[in-house]
Chain A
Amino acid sequence: MSLSAIIVMLASIVALWGVAGYALVVSMRHEERKLSLLHSQGDFEPFSPRAFRDLEHWLTQHPDSEHAPEIREWQGVQRQSLQHNPQRFYDWSNADDDTREAA
C-alpha cells in the first residue's frame, strides 16, 4: 500500500471510529451522571452556563413574544434546580459572574 493510502486510512479510522467511539463513551457517562443525580436529588439543572446565558439573552430580546412564557418556565426550572440542588450536572466553575448571578 502507498504511504498516502495508509495515511488516509489511519486518518479515516481516527475521524470516524475514534469520534464515534468517543461520542458513545462520553454520552453514556453523562447519562450515568444524569441518572445518578436524578436518583440522589430528584433533578438537575437542564442548561449549561452558556446555554442558560443564551436563554436569558433570548428573553431580553423577545420579552413580549408569544413564546416567552415557555422560555420563562424553563428559566424558572433552571433557577429552582440551581437553588435547591447541592450537586450540579454542568461545570459552573468557569461561568462568568453575570450568568451565576442570573441563575
Chain B
Amino acid sequence: MTTTISREQWGSRFGYLMAVVGAMVGAGNIWRMPYVTGENGGGAFLIAYFLLLYLIAVPGLMGETSLGRHTRQGLIGTFRKLYGNSRLVGLGLVILIFNIVLMSYYSSIVGWSIYYAFHAVTGTFTQTNFDTAALWQAFSGNTALNVGMHSVAMLLVTSILLLGIKGGIERLAKWMMPILTIALIAIAIRGVTLPGAMAGLEFSFSPNWAYLTRGETWLAALGQALFSTGLGWGIALTYGSYLGRNDDIPLGGGIFTAIGNTSFGLLAIFAVFPIVFAFGISPSSGAELAFVALANAFGSMTGGYLWALLFFMGFFFANLTTAIAITEVGVTTYREERNTSRTKAVLTICGIIWLLGIPSAMNADILGYLDFVVGNWGLPLATFIIMIAIGWKFDAHRLRVLSLNRGADLYVPRIWELVVRYQIPAIMLGIMAYFLYTNLGQTPWKTVSGLALLTLMIPLCMWIMNRRHDTPQVATSTGDQSS
C-alpha cells in the first residue's frame, strides 16, 4: 500500500491563497460570468448565486481541502486511504481522467489567450481599421497555428510545474494574481468612465426579481457556482495536501477561495460590460466577446494599446494559473503512484495531455464535444464521488472534528456535515439528471455517446485499479509537518 511520500509544502499563506484562487479563476470568470449575470436577471441572479455559493461551494471546498490536508495524498492515494485496496479506488482514477481530458482541451484556450496576449504586446489591435473578426476567423481556421499555440501552452505549464509547488506554482501565483487584479481594476476604472458605460452596469446589476422564480436562473447560478469554483475536481484536494498540519482551511480554503474567485467575476463585470455598452457592442460571452468584441473596442479607445495589453495579459494569467492547477492534480497523483521524481511525473503527465489535446486544437468540434461531456456529466459526477467519499466513507463528522476545525481561523458547526452528506450529492444527481433530460432531445447522439463513454469508464477504471493492487506499490514514508 502506498503511504505518504516526501512532499513539499506551500512556502507562505499568501502563496497558498493566491495559488488556490488562481486555480479557480479562469476563462469562465472573465468571459462568461458578466454575460450570464446580465442574461439571468442581473441582481436577482447575483442573489441566487451568492446563496448557492455559501450553501454549496464554500462547504464543499472546505471538505475537499480538508480531506487532502488529512491524507496528504493526491487523488488515487486519497481514495486508497479511504477504500483500502479495493476496486473503488478506481473512482479516484475516474476523476483523474476527467482532469486530464479537461486539461487536454483547456490547453487550447490557454493557447488562444497566449496568441492574443502576443498580439496585444505587438500592438495589433490598435492598428488603423484593424478587423478583429477577421483575425479570429483566420486564427480559428489555421490548424497548424492552433496546434502550435496548444504546444506553447503545454510547454509553459510544463516548465512552471517542473519548478515545483513552492518554486513554480506558488511563486507564479504570488505575482500573477495581484497583477490580474490590478489589470482588471484599471480596465474597470477606464470602462466606467467611458460615455454610455453606465448602461453596461445597469444591464448587469439591475435586479429583475421575476427571474428568482425561474428554474433556469437557479440552474445558471448553480452551474456558475460549481464550475467556476472547481469544486470536486480534485484541485482543492491536491492543493490542500500540500498544507501544513495546523494551517487554517475554513477561512482560506473555503470562504476566501470561493468568494475571492467570485470577486474576480464581479471585477470582470465592471471591466467588460461598461466597455461593451459604451461601444454599442451586443452583449455576448465566450471567445467572441473577448477576442472579437473587446479586442475591437480596445483598438478604438484612447490608450487602447495599454488596455488591450492589460486585458489580454490578465486573461492569459487567469487561464495559465487554472491550467497549472488542473495539470498538478495528475502530476501529484502520478508521482505518488509510480513513486517517481517530480520531473518524470511532470514530463509524463504534460506529455499525455499534449498528445490528447492535439485533436481539440485541430478541430473545435472535438473541443466542444469534450466540453459537453465533461461539463455536463464528468465534473458533476466527480463532485458527487468526492462528496460521497468525504461525507460517508471518511465520515463528515470525523473529518470536521479531526481536520477541518484544526488550526482553523473560523469554527465550522455541525450543519456542515449535513450539507456535505446530503445536500451537495443530491444537487449533483439532480443537475446530471437535468442535463440528461434537456440534452437528450436536442443533441441525442452527443448525449448518448457521452453517457456511454462515462458508463464504460467507471467499471474500466475500477478493473484497472483492482488489477494494479495485485502488484503492491511501495513508497517511503515521511512526515515533515509544520504550520
Interface residues of A, Cβ cutoff 8 Å to B: 1-2, 4-6, 8-9, 12-13, 15-17, 19-20, 23-24, 26-28, 30-31, 34-35, 38, 44, 46-48, 50-51, 54-55, 58, 67, 70-71, 74
22 A-B pairs with C-beta separation under 8 A: A5-B202, A12-B43, A15-B50, A16-B263, A20-B263, A23-B251, A23-B259, A27-B251, A31-B12, A35-B483, A46-B245, A46-B246, A47-B405, A47-B406, A50-B405, A51-B401, A51-B406, A54-B400, A67-B398, A70-B402, A71-B401, A74-B406
Q: Which of B370-378, B407-415, B462-470 contacts A (4 or more CB under 8 A)?
A: B407-415
> Which of A9, A38, A44 is B205 in contact with, Cβ under 8 Å?
A9
Q: Chain A residues near B42: list those with CB within 8 A.
A: 5, 8
* Min CB–CB distance A68 → chain B (angstroms): 10
* Besides A20-B259, A24-B17, 20 other A-B contacts (C-beta < 8 A): A1-B198, A1-B202, A5-B207, A13-B266, A16-B262, A17-B263, A19-B255, A23-B251, A23-B259, A27-B248, A30-B251, A31-B247, A31-B248, A31-B483, A46-B245, A46-B246, A48-B408, A58-B397, A58-B402, A71-B401
**Complex: A58 Cα to B407 Cα, angstroms:** 18
Name the 4 nearest CB pairs between A and B, nearest first: A8-B43, A51-B405, A31-B13, A23-B256
**Interface check B34, CB cutoff 8 A:** no
Q: Chain B residues near A44: list those with CB within 8 A.
A: 246, 483
Q: Chain B residues near A15: list those with CB within 8 A.
A: 50
Q: Is the CB of A55 within 8 A of B483?
A: no
B interface secondary structure, majority: helix
Q: Is the CB of A23 within 8 A of B260?
A: yes
The residue in chain A whose Cβ has the minimal distance to the Cβ of B395 is: A67
Q: Is the CB of A2 within 8 A of B248?
A: no
**Interface check B443, CB cutoff 8 A:** no
Interface residues of B, Cβ cutoff 8 Å to A: 12-14, 17, 42-43, 46, 50, 198, 201-202, 205-207, 245-248, 251-252, 255-256, 259-260, 262-263, 266, 397-398, 400-402, 405-409, 411, 482-483
Count chain A CB atoms within 10 A of each CB in B17, B206, B409 and give the residue with the most: B409
Q: Is the CB of A34 within 8 A of B483?
A: yes
Known: A30-B248, A38-B482, A55-B401. A20 touches B256 (CB 8 A): yes
* Min CB–CB distance A53 → chain B (angstroms): 10
Q: Chain A residues near B17: list those with CB within 8 A.
A: 24, 27
Q: Chain B residues near A35: list those with CB within 8 A.
A: 483
**Complex: A34 Cα to B408 Cα, angstroms:** 11
Known: A5-B42, A16-B262, A71-B401. A23 touches B255 (CB 8 A): yes
Q: Is the CB of B256 within 8 A of A1?
A: no
Q: Is the CB of A54 within 8 A of B405?
A: yes
> Which of B50, B206, B263, B482 is A4 in contact with, Cβ under 8 Å?
B206
Known: A38-B482, A44-B246, A51-B408. A24 touches B202 (CB 8 A): no
Known: A17-B263, A26-B251. A38 touches B406 (CB 8 A): no
**Complex: A69 Cα to B445 Cα, angstroms:** 53
> Which of B201, B256, B263, B400 is A5 in contact with, Cβ under 8 Å?
B201
> Which of B12, B201, B400, B411 is A9 in contact with, Cβ under 8 Å?
B201
Q: Chain B residues near A30: list those with CB within 8 A.
A: 248, 251, 409
Q: Is the CB of B206 within 8 A of A2?
A: yes
Q: Chain B residues near A50: list those with CB within 8 A.
A: 405, 411
